[in-house]
Amino acid sequence: MHAARWLTAVVHEDWGITVRACDRIVMSSANALAWLDTDDGALIAKWCVAADLTEHLREVAETVAAVCADGIPVSAPLLTRTGAVHRERDRLGLQRVIPGHLLDVADPAAVRAAGRMLGRLHRALARRPIHGRAGETDRPRALSERVGEWLAARSAHAPAAACAELGRLIDAAPSDDLPRQLVHFDFRAANLLCQGARITGVLDFEQLAVDHAVTDVARSAVLLGTRYHDWAPLSGAARSDFLAAYRSERPLTREEAAWLDIATLWTSLAMIPAGADPAGWASAADDLAAELSEGGGGAARG
């Protein structure tokens, strides 16, 4: 009740919007989200208690506003009376509620739409300058170093054959001096809204980081179907549809294609739990390694 009264006062003071009702408030890590019924329509207020994230959250809000202007369906921040993207003292921002349902990876048309959307998003993000908190790692370690380090320290539960294939791919790979840019890094079903097979909203840019686009694509190609609980790997068919659609919007260079295979297998292997594996992560990694070994259906080839 106290939070609702506080939000009502803050939103009116800083945005000039009247809150009629606060429908619900949920907590997520250091964040709180509130769904508001206002005289300006249905809005979401999101604020963060982590003071050290102030600069990063400002960059996130500015990036979302920029990609919105580029035609990406995001909920751009509503500007305060002073033209700010959020209220800095408590890192509170307002955005409109986007209609839609979470992506269903059992729908091939929706999966392909997601792939095209990530390609469009990467092209839009590549136009953004690298700066601020996300830019603190504006020279991410080479993929060969990151993957090789993981491979050397891999856990005993990682399938030996799939790990051997990963090593073979690294040995045969071209240069990993790939372009760097801002990437979403959490592009998956939990953050994608759809109406039919159309993507109506890309949500949650808080993991915005600087990396190679193929690292982001690989993560999505493995985790696209995950939501909140009981995570499971994406099927091979859905992964193929997703990657082919991505490449139709953002074609890959030869070097990117090779490293996408590596990054996808690496991500798949890294998701295998140490204990019980009811979702079949190990089997999915083995299947992907076999595809790559045969050379006819690799991750990058879609």
**Tell me: the pLDDT tens digits for 170-202?**
999 999 999 999 999 999 999 999 999 999 999
- Res 3 pLDDT > 70: yes
- Res 296 pLDDT > 60: no
pLDDT band at 301 (very low <50, low <70, confident <90, very high): low
The residue-averaged pLDDT of 200-211 equals 94
The residue-averaged pLDDT of 206-235 equals 95
Q: What pLDDT does 154 receive?
A: 85
pLDDT above 70: percentage of residues in the chain: 95
Note the pTM of the prediction, 2 decimals: 0.92
| Closest to 268 in 3D by CA, of 236, 226, 222 | 222
- Res 118 pLDDT > 70: yes
pLDDT band at 132 (very low <50, low <70, confident <90, very high): low
pLDDT band at 29 (very low <50, low <70, confident <90, very high): confident
Q: What pLDDT does 298 receive?
A: 55
Q: What pLDDT does 123 receive?
A: 98
pLDDT (tens digit per residue) in 139-182: 688 999 999 999 999 888 899 999 999 999 999 999 999 999 99
Helix (H/G/I), strand (E/B), else coil: 31:
strand
- Res 224 pLDDT > 90: yes
- Sequence-separated (6 or more) residues with CB below 8 Å from residue 34: 3, 4, 7, 22, 23, 24, 25, 44, 45, 46
**Dihedral pair phi/psi, residue 241, rounded to 5°:** -60, -45
Q: Where are the beta strands (DSSP E) in the chain?
A: 19-28, 31-38, 41-48, 93-96, 101-102, 181-183, 192-195, 198-202, 209-211
Q: What pLDDT does 58 receive?
A: 87
Q: Cα(first)–Cα(last) distance of the chain, in Å?
A: 51
Q: For tokens 């005993």, name the residue.
A: 156
Joined tokens for residue 268? 């798949």
The residue type found at 143 is L
pLDDT above 90: percentage of residues in the chain: 80
- Res 137 pLDDT > 60: no
- Res 294 pLDDT > 50: yes
Length of the chain: 302
The residue-averaged pLDDT of 85-109 equals 93
Q: What pLDDT does 26 receive?
A: 92
| Closest to 196 in 3D by CA, of 115, 116, 122, 108 | 108
The residue-averaged pLDDT of 38-44 equals 96
The residue-averaged pLDDT of 207-234 equals 95
Q: What pLDDT does 55 receive?
A: 85
